[in-house]
Amino acid sequence: NAMSFRGREYSRCSLFMEIEKGELMPLPAKRYEVKRYAQATVHKNSHIYFGKDKHYYSVPYRHIGKQVKLVYTDNIVEIYHKHERFAVHTRDRKKYGYTTLADHMPSHHRFVSEWSSERFIDWAGNIGGHCKGYIIAILEKKQHPEQSYKSCLGVLHLAKKYGRERLENACKRASEYGAYNYNMVERILKKGWDQIDERMDGDMEMPEHNNIRGGKYYE
């Protein structure tokens, strides 16, 4: 590189120092990452569901109902609508977890959405006291109540299939288990555990739950 070209007084090295070196730019601060793409819909709780990781990410509430584009790498998830990026999150692979920015939530802006905690609590109160207490417990599990709306709606809709009395009893039994989610209530109703006399509890099949250790735990 330092040798002069034949019949010339300059070399590759001298050309580099004179012309090219000054045009060089610094290397990128971050390592290059491959970007991938996905589509999603903004739910009424101001979140989108990222199916690859089974995780929820918040977006500004004004975009509720819109179809959006996800651009994601190993480390971040960006959310776009019509080429405008309106949300970016650090990627989280926790299944069925929520990544939420407070500024995105309707409650933070005193926005009254179609769904609200009060509406679900009143709805549950018309079914029964145990159902009302159960819905309140679900709402209190999350940092932002809107994150629980889908679960609340699922529980309350079970009354259409099984009736109010059975749902009330199922919520009572699920509360005794300390399991506050839609899947537990649905399972109790499907198995008919809500209709079993409490005196026969010792003979019934116990549900799978992290807080129930089982007899082998004490062996």
For residues 98-117, give the mean pLDDT: 68
pLDDT tens digit sequence for 169-180: 999 999 998 999
Q: What is the mean pLDDT of the chain?
A: 85
Q: Looking at residue 219, what is its pLDDT?
A: 52
Q: Is residue 92's pLDDT more than 90?
A: yes
H helix intervals, the chain: 12-15, 117-127, 129-141, 149-162, 164-177, 182-191
3-state secondary structure of 142: coil
For residues 130-147, give the mean pLDDT: 83
- % residues pLDDT > 90 (the chain): 55
Q: Is residue 207's pLDDT more than 50?
A: yes
Q: Is residue 105's pLDDT more than 90?
A: no
Label residue 112 by pLDDT band (50, 70, 90). very low
DSSP string, 78-123: EEEETTEEEEEEE----TT-EE--GGGSGGGGT---SS-HHHHHHH
The DSSP bridge partners found for residue 71 are 37, 78
Lowest-confidence range among 40-54, 113-127, 147-161?
113-127
Q: Looking at residue 29, what is its pLDDT?
A: 87
Q: Is residue 116's pLDDT more than 70?
A: yes
Q: Looking at residue 110, what is its pLDDT?
A: 41
Nearest to 53 by CA among 38, 68, 63: 38
pLDDT tens digit sequence for 60-85: 988 989 999 999 999 999 999 999 99
pLDDT tens digit sequence for 140-152: 887 666 678 888 9
Q: Looking at residue 111, what is its pLDDT?
A: 40
Name the more confident of 146 and 162.
162
